[in-house]
Structure 1
Amino acid sequence: MSEQVPTNIREIVNVRFENPKFKFDGKRMRVLQERKVVDYSSAILKQMRERTKDYLQTNNKYNLNNQIINLPSPEQCYNDHSYSLTTKFEHLSMNKVKSPVHVVRWTPDGRRCMSGTATGEFSLWNGYGYNFETILQAHESSVRAMAWAHSGSFLASADNLGVIKYWHQSMNNIQIFQGHDEPIRDISFSFNDSKFCTASDDSTIKIWDANDTRCEVTLTGHNWDIRSAQWHKYQSLIASAGKDNLIKFWDPRAAEELYTLHSHKNTLLALKWSLDGNYLLSGGKDQIVRMFDIRSMKERYLYKDHRKEITSLTIHPVIPDLFVSGCGDGSIYFWQMYNDIPLEFIPSGHEFTIWSMEFHPIGHVLATGSMDNTVRFWIRPRAGEEEDLENPEEKDITERVNGSIPGL
């Protein structure tokens, strides 16, 4: 009887490895494993195919599980946020040497997700399968801030020692210079990438020339550590906030303070501009996200349902009125700007504080970095999938509702 011939690649590799003539060269050969990926190409192709509006609505809104190819892209869900909420946990990524993750940033092309850790390392994770790709020792101290230029040509990063570094897309270090004497908490580029600003624990904001790394202006006015400074989307305007509970607006050209908001009652930890630049979101230790209209310098909305301090904010890159907040207890909240009730809530997204979060450039994946040493990826739920309930009480309630109800 003839021997059975291996049919798939896994059997072929295993047979070769067990062959006595095969010499071990010192490298460990791992058993092949299947790796799930999130491919968004079908959604983009669907969007290109359906550029004209379907007035007859012939496509079924609720697709079956085997019709995943019909899942619309986030851009097609402009008026229906139910398709755009990335509430399904997909993958957990962690370095071998565990360290808190302070910053998470997607590359401009969306092919990789970068994380900056407390050990000064950059870790690159694949944008499809979220597996580890490479790691490099970028800084000598904790990485505190990272920002890509709007053109995507280079990355600026800063650490706990106040050092600023430029990085090429290939992760080659271009420039190193001392920016502040104390930790730098935030970096933000101007709308034309000609300048960028840095916020530091030394209570100052510095405006830098992006070409020759020359400090042009030093803004002073805060009375304590500055935790965030964000350049406006298309104007010469900078918003900053920190431990003195104040939000200040600056004109970088005249190097002067324009206006101060006194709405918060505790330390501010996060600021974000809306996509149109008309609104500013702020959050901090008072457990409230506030939205300000900069045209009238008035507070428009309050978002109060947080259980702990707000440590991170991010806005959807495609849907302008959708934003996400991360808290000190690891919870994640999804909000619509003109609705003070959260659209979705993940109570235990992380075990500890969420320091950073950012959407994929297309908007179908949310990456979050936390003090629990992990980077977690969240995707949109697929039609027909049952939600995993970790809380047994929630599971019991679901079973009672789905089952027979006495008296009816």
Structure 2
Amino acid sequence: MVKLLCFLENGGSGKTFFWKNIIEKELIQNQTEKQKAYVYSSLYGNRTLDKIEDNIYAQAYLCSVGGKNAVLSGYEKVKDFGKRFGSFCSLLDVSKLVDGIDDIQQKNIKRSALSYLENGGIVCFDDFERKSKDIDLNDLFGFISHLAIDLNCKVVIILNDDVFEGEEKNVFSRVKEKSVSKFLKYEPSIKELFETIFSNEKYRVLDEHKEIILKTIEETEELNARIYIQVLDNLVEWIEKEQEINDDVLRCLILVNINFILFHTICNHKVENIYLLRGFYDIHEKYSNNFSERGIGENLKLLSTFQDYYSKLKESIFSGKEKPEEKRKYHNNFLESNLKNYESKFLANKLDISKDVDNKTFQKINKFIETGILINE
């Protein structure tokens, strides 16, 4: 039997979204029928292991008394929860407990929580990449092992496959070798991840534009659930406020949005067929405005990757006459400190983000994405 399942992904591909929206609903139903707990524990915002433990026991107790929709009629009678349950009293919102519990005692609460965890409870840990540095990973995995082995829970840990570094990486390697029963790698394609998110009912207003939305996202090669959600939400607002709608405008809005999410930059309209970034004084503009490989006549073609573009940019800056060490250092520092600007500039020009969109509409899109404000004119 699988007791500790490791659910891996490459960062951003929507593991939490997939778990919460596809898997969790059925799990909760199954656990309710079995009278066992399902607990989802985000490590984000928890600075101590005690707080994580308290949260898990509190959620397990809620499962035992009716879950999130239950109502308490005698919460004020719950006094001392003891050492372990003393702090999780504050986690039990009075509106979430079952009515009719007048004489509940500390031992009954503990018994209820543990009975719903033991021998079949499911606990899911998420947000390892946002775990507080105050929490020792050895101690955390010790508690996870306690749940899996001593309480016979099924434990799922959701994390990026490269989340740990240094000593924590060594700790996780030991845990993987000794304790993890099974690994699942979540590797959706862009289309698969998009389809999962797009299935949300709130995006039905976008159905007739689905093809251009997916096609544009695929152009960027971005695989990131949070980006897709932000883009789709902005598209819904744009359409509901009766703005200009055609494939070119929607493509532009998507690309401007993704560029802004990734790099926090806004492009001006083309100047001599080149998109320049607003507020970026580029001392290497002479070289950075060249996005093509060296070719002959009609064989000239655009550089396909940012790595190629950046290598060519550095080569252009540092080739020729030897520069003094101090100047080389200055130019290197400028390039490194403006790496995101160059990435943004490359993306905008490679994809021609405002292709076939007039400047007025382009600037309206820019303002909407930058400020979140959309005014009907």
Shorter-chain TM-score: what band?
under 0.3
- Which TM-score applies when normalising by structure 1? 0.21
**Greater share of strand:** 1
